[in-house]
Amino acid sequence: MRVIYIKGTWGRLLLAAAAFAIFTAMHWLSEKAITTVSTMLATRLVPIYKVEVPDKRMSVSFDAMWGVDHTDELLRILAENDVRTTFFLGGYWVENYPEYVRKIADAGHEIGNHTYSHPHLNSLSPAAIRQELERNHSNIKAITGRDCFLFRPPFGEYSNKVIEVAEELGYYTIQWSIDSLDWKDVSAQFIVDRVLSQAGPGEIVLMHNNGKYTAEALERILPELKRRGFEIVPISELIYRDNYYIEPHSGIQRPLKPPKDTRSRAFTGGGKGL
């Protein structure tokens, strides 16, 4: 390794100038990097995963895209436990089982939009995303007379593009904070343990209407949640409809003001919608 010695006044001045230039460049680059990251964080849109609530409300939700083998059993269990919840219905399911769409609505449950064909939305153009939501929205409204305003993206995939289109159509994009994993056909006991171990205020549970052991697990989960003092409500009675923000790193929806009971903005069968 060669070592260069700087001698003389001019040499030392030259070295100081070079050091200052390097320091300035590094400082500028670091500031630019921080600004870029901050901008990215500030503009990154996320769905609602969980809600900060002042009480012990939480939601259990169901996605429906294939089959109805266990749906009657689910509706029976929900009715016996006096629980209303949210069903996110896919378009193919709506078209194939319109009588079940009516059953769900007539039982007092809330219906959300799960797109028409269950695609990977991130791969679609904004126009195609809009078409997925609008087509299913129209089909659901034709059966129930209600406008949906809750939307769950297939596979839990989202991006700014997906959320922006949903917002333009009056939708709140909803994810989940507790995945029951019932879609993996795990045992009822596994589902029960998984949900109960994570249950808490503002949590949103993901289940599926046609899970093999979902109904068996639900029959044990609901009474235990009630025993623990939880109130299980439709998602529209959990979220804030205005004066809120969503933490980009956690997906928790928080009120801008001190938490208040959000049930004054509860589901009434009408949306902001299309």
Residues belonging to the active site: 63, 208
Tokens matching residue 235: 């998602």
Q: Please give the single-letter amino acid code of residue 48.
A: I
Q: Report which DSSP code applies to 25.
A: H
The single residue listed with the structure tokens 């949590």 is 203
DSSP H or E segment with residue 101: helix 98-106
Which residues lie across from 61 on neighbouring strands? 86, 206
Q: How many CB atoms lie within 10 A of CB 56?
A: 15
CA distance 236 to 152: 13
Helices (H), 145-260: 160-168, 188-198, 214-227
Q: Report which DSSP code applies to 116.
A: S
Q: What angle do CA 18, 20, 26 make, to 5 degrees?
A: 105
